[in-house]
Amino acid sequence: MRRLSLTTRLSLLFMLALTGVLLAVGLTFNLLSREHFIDLDRHALHDKLQASQRLLGSLRRADELPALRPQLHTLLGAHQDLRAQVVDRDGRVLLAEPAQAAIPARFRTQTRGLWEWWEEGRLLRGMTAEVALAEPGQSLTLLLALDVTHHADFFAALERWLWIALAVCALLSAGLGWLVARSGLRPLREVTQVAATVSARSLKERIPQAALPVELQPLVSSFNGMLERLDDAFMRLSNFSADIAHELRTPLTQLMTHTEVVLSRARSLEEYQDALYGNLEDLKQMARMIDDMLFLAKADNGLIMPEHKSLALHELAEQLLDYYRLLAEDRNITLQLHGTGMIDGDAGMLRRALSNLLSNALRYTPAGGCIRVRIASFGGQVLLGVENPGPSIPAEHLGRLFDRFYRADPARREGGNAGLGLAITRSIVEAHRGSIRCESAHGLTRFELAFPAVSAERPLNAGA
């Protein structure tokens, strides 16, 4: 089933609201008017009833009524829509005005309030009163009825025109609501048109917010924010694709060139073996790069599921420092470890992350320097810092150090470094619900990892 448009919905809501208000006003007016006319009829009958009661009350007995007939005729006969009856205690009609006036006998005992009945298409409304005569035990019953058919006709016509006016107003309000809704939603259509023009080549375009209504500004602000994030992600993806092509092209070119040189002439078995060993190194480098990219792709899709074991972080760091100590001694670099801490994580992944940081620190620490690994617990977190002296990293590069294939100094490509180590480290840290940041100033660079601390009651399993 096709859903109604927002303009149609607003138009219908506007029509229903306005029709509902008009209906309530019309019904209220009709009810109040009916009560007003009933009140007028009551006053008219009450006045006639009181005047008639005063005349009849002067009688001693019921048989003296003919003496008052002229006065009663003058009082009651002047009103052409009025009917009157005087009935004695035996139910005999002593006086009828006009002579052919008939009032149902059932109303003779209804002495409170108004009563009414329909007679041959005419509506009559009346009142009944008991008149006590001067002689004890003598009384008369006075019935007055007023023909109010014209009132009923008036209200029938009023209700008919009310429903006609209500139908016309509903149609007009629907059309007016459609125009108002369409005009009010014009900024939304403009936003939609601009959004429809957005493509991969125009992600830098933004929808201006200055002329928009207040209600649409949060929506447009969120949309512009989404465009900004998409633009950033698209640029990163484009750069990533270009970097992959560049990084893979270099070893492939080397393999092709080396192979072409070897095949350019006949060589000995030893020369062929040396050439194959050289090609194997390049292939291993490409395999490592592909493995790293696959690891990052899994991290992006949340497919990295680290083990959750209680680890003594200082023991894990000490094992890695023992491994790197021989390389450090060759360059006269000192390695130090300070502090202890317990975390919940995967020993293999954390060893890889910390190994990337130590390799990076060894790469840029000058001879005679000291690399310090500090572990401390603070505010429910375990902080691990790797600090090394060396050239400071410019501030404009700190925010992108953990991007793939990014190097603060593009000229530094020694050691088969593809620029994926820090990106892998960040993915591992984030998979452990942690965070990583870098500070570099005054010839000192520090990478700090923050992990959620574990309870001291948990069993220790270094998993080293």
Whether 457 shows a pLDDT value over 50: the answer reads no
Task: Please give the pLDDT value at position 435.
Answer: 92
Model pLDDT for residues 260-300, shown as the tens digit of each residue: 888 888 888 888 888 888 888 878 877 877 777 777 677 66
- What residues contact residue 112 under an 8 Å CB cut-off, 6+ apart? none
Task: Please give the pLDDT value at position 463.
Answer: 37
Given 3.40.50.10490, 3.40.50.720, 3.30.565.10, 3.40.50.1220, which CATH number is that of 309-452?
A: 3.30.565.10
Q: Name the least confident of 54-63, 307-316, 353-362.
A: 54-63
Quote the CA–CA distance of 437 and 179 in Å, as a whole number. Answer: 56
* pLDDT band with cut points at 50, 70 and 90 for residue 370: very high
The answer to whether 448 and 373 have CB atoms below 8 angstroms apart is no
| Type of residue numbered 119 | E
The answer to whether 342 and 453 have CB atoms below 8 angstroms apart is yes
Task: Please give the pLDDT value at position 208.
Answer: 76
Model pLDDT for residues 177-204, shown as the tens digit of each residue: 888 888 877 877 777 777 777 765 667 7
Whether 169 shows a pLDDT value over 70: the answer reads yes
The secondary structure of 336-367 as a DSSP string is EEE---EEEE-HHHHHHHHHHHHHHHHHHPPT
455: left (phi over 0), alpha (psi -120 to 50) or beta: beta
Looking at CATH, the fold of the domain delimited by 6-170 is given as Beta-Lactamase (3.30.450)
The answer to whether 387 and 444 have CB atoms below 8 angstroms apart is yes
Mean pLDDT, to the nearest integer, of 169-183? 87
The answer to whether 356 and 421 have CB atoms below 8 angstroms apart is yes
Q: Name the least confident of 208-212, 400-404, 460-464.
A: 460-464
Sheet containing 115-119: give its strands across: 93-97, 82-87, 139-147, 122-132, 115-119
The answer to whether 62 and 138 have CB atoms below 8 angstroms apart is yes
Closest CA to 315 of 345, 287, 292: 345
Quote the CA–CA distance of 463 and 450 in Å, as a whole number. Answer: 20
Q: Name the least confident of 85-99, 232-246, 407-421.
A: 407-421
Mean pLDDT, to the nearest integer, of 254-263? 83
Whether 384 shows a pLDDT value over 90: the answer reads yes
pTM of the model: 0.48
The answer to whether 187 and 17 have CB atoms below 8 angstroms apart is no
Quote the CA–CA distance of 371 and 284 in Å, as a whole number. Answer: 29
Task: Please give the pLDDT value at position 67.
Answer: 82
Task: Please give the pLDDT value at position 394.
Answer: 86
Pairing mode, strands 370-378 and 334-338 = parallel
Closest CA to 361 of 431, 425, 296, 284: 425
> What percent of the chain is modeled with pLDDT above 90?
16
* Assigned CATH for 217-300: 1.10.287.130
Model pLDDT for residues 198-252, shown as the tens digit of each residue: 765 667 777 777 777 777 778 888 888 888 888 877 777 776 677 667 667 777 8
Q: CA-CA-CA-CA torsion for 193, 196, 197, 198, nearest 10 degrees?
A: 130
Q: How far is CA 107 from CA 103, 122, 131, 142, 182, in A?
A: 8, 17, 15, 10, 62
Model pLDDT for residues 325-348, shown as the tens digit of each residue: 888 988 899 999 999 989 888 888
In the chain, where the domains are located: 6-170, 217-300, 309-452
Whether 303 shows a pLDDT value over 80: the answer reads no
Quote the CA–CA distance of 418 and 73 in Å, as a whole number. Answer: 123
Quote the CA–CA distance of 79 and 324 in Å, as a whole number. Answer: 124
Beta bridge partners of 133: none
Whether 43 shows a pLDDT value over 70: the answer reads yes
Q: Name the least confident of 101-115, 202-216, 340-354, 429-443.
A: 202-216
Quote the CA–CA distance of 127 and 148 in Å, as a whole number. Answer: 13
Task: Please give the pLDDT value at position 414.
Answer: 46
* pLDDT band with cut points at 50, 70 and 90 for residue 134: confident
